[in-house]
């Protein structure tokens, strides 16, 4: 088996990936297997959670208990059986192995991380000094575009889409993802040139894969860093063009944003599989400064303002 760094863990697998992963020589925390046969898992329990959207009467995903494992069933695509030390994928449609990979690197690993006591945040994360900052946004809020500008300014990418957070004493640590950005064609054209020079992230959508590090763009860091701040981006046409408002958040507002930007919070909370999750979220809320950044600016200007704000936070810690 080959081993890779992924979301702050070492994963061993014989499955080939189209997504670039960082090789590791460390002992694996998790193994991943792909099969077209049904794993021998007794005692399939009832549906714990059904995840929308619903198409033709079928939900996007279902969560079950299956013996000592949890089962994430993605309708007509794949079943993922999750144990603490391994994940087994039963590919229900052999014509879409690429879709099984996308599910694994998205909701499946996010759910597995949550089962290990972490928070899988739907956010990009970038190095800042010896720490890191996370960037969440509403759809189209500019999360990845801001990450591109910060990489261009010399920061390194930790993760583009899922940032796992874990408590470490009184601090919160952000884990790395894989060395890739996913951008819409207009963003690729603005930042890198012809979108057709980059592979599709998904055959049914127009987002492109932009490799990071190595022969790609910028630098990727496959190691965890202390999380120093979390920025929540929102585009607002009511703000004058060129305007930026940075608002510190506190109390219930922080918790609300953490819940809103949890990658699989609806799966975990809906299935009731981790009652202690609220305590972990409360720890993150109390340990990490959060800012709402409401803006109507291009990414370069936004990056400059965020860097200024983070520098102010760093000075305040001294």
pTM of the prediction? Answer: 0.94
Asked if residues 133 and 228 have their Cβ atoms less than 8 Å apart, the reply is: yes
Residue 246 to residue 33: CA distance in whole angstroms: 45
Residue 242: pLDDT over 70: no
Question: In the prediction, which pLDDT does 241 show?
Answer: 63
Tens digit of each residue's pLDDT (9 = 90 or more) over 85-107: 999 999 987 777 888 999 999 99
Cβ proximity of 109 and 102 under 8 Å: no
More confident residue, 132 or 298: 132
Q: What burial class does residue 18 get, using C-beta atoms within 10 Å of its C-beta: 0-12 exposed, 13-18 middle, 19+ buried?
A: exposed
Contact in structure between 121 and 263 (CB atoms under 8 Å): yes
DSSP output for 197-261? GS-BSSTTS--EEEEBSTTSBS-B--S-EEEEEEEEEEE-TTSPTT-EEEEEE-THHHHHHHHHT
52-90 pLDDT per residue, tens: 999 999 999 999 999 899 999 998 889 999 999 999 999
What are the pLDDT digits (tens) for 219-229?
999 999 999 99
Question: Is the CB of residue 136 less than 8 Å from the CB of residue 176?
Answer: no
Mean pLDDT of the residues in the chain: 92
Domains contained in the chain, CATH given? 2-116 (no CATH), 121-317 (3.40.50.300)
Q: Are 296 and 270 in contact (CB under 8 A)?
A: no
Percent of the chain with pLDDT over 90: 70
Q: What dihedral angle (degrees, nearest 10) is formed by the CA atoms of 263, 267, 273, 275?
A: 60
């Amino acid at each position: 088996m080959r081993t890779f760094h992924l979301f702050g863990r070492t994963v061993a697998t014989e499955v080939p990936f189209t997504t670039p992963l960082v090789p590791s020589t460390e002992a694996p925390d998790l193994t991943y297997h792909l099969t077209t046969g049904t794993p021998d898992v007794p005692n399939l329990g009832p549906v714990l959670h059904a995840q929308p959207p619903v198409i033709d009467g079928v939900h996007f995903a279902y969560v079950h208990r299956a013996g000592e494992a949890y089962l994430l069933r993605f309708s007509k695509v794949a079943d993922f059986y999750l144990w603490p030390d391994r994940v087994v994928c039963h590919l229900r449609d052999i014509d879409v192995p690429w879709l099984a990979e996308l599910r694994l690197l998205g909701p499946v690993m996010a759910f597995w991380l949550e089962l290990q006591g972490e928070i899988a945040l739907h956010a990009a994360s970038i190095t800042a000094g010896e720490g890191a900052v996370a960037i969440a946004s509403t759809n189209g809020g500019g999360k990845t575009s801001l990450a591109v500008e910060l990489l261009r300014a010399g920061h390194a990418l930790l993760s583009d889409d899922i940032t796992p957070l874990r408590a470490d004493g009184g601090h919160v640590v952000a884990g790395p993802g894989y060395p890739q950005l996913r951008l819409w064609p207009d963003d690729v054209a603005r930042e890198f040139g012809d979108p057709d020079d980059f592979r599709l992230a998904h055959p049914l959508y127009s987002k492109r894969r932009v490799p990071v590090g190595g022969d790609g763009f910028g630098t990727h860091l496959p190691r965890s860093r202390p999380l120093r701040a979390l920025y929540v981006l929102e585009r607002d046409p009511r703000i004058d063009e060129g305007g930026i408002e940075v608002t510190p958040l506190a109390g219930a507002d922080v918790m609300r944003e953490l819940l809103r930007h949890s990658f699989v919070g609806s799966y975990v909370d809906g299935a009731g599989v981790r009652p202690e999750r609220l305590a972990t979220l409360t720890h993150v809320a109390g340990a990490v400064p959060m800012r709402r950044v409401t803006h109507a600016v291009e990414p370069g200007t936004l990056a400059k303002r965020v860097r200024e704000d983070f520098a102010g936070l760093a000075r305040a810690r001294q």
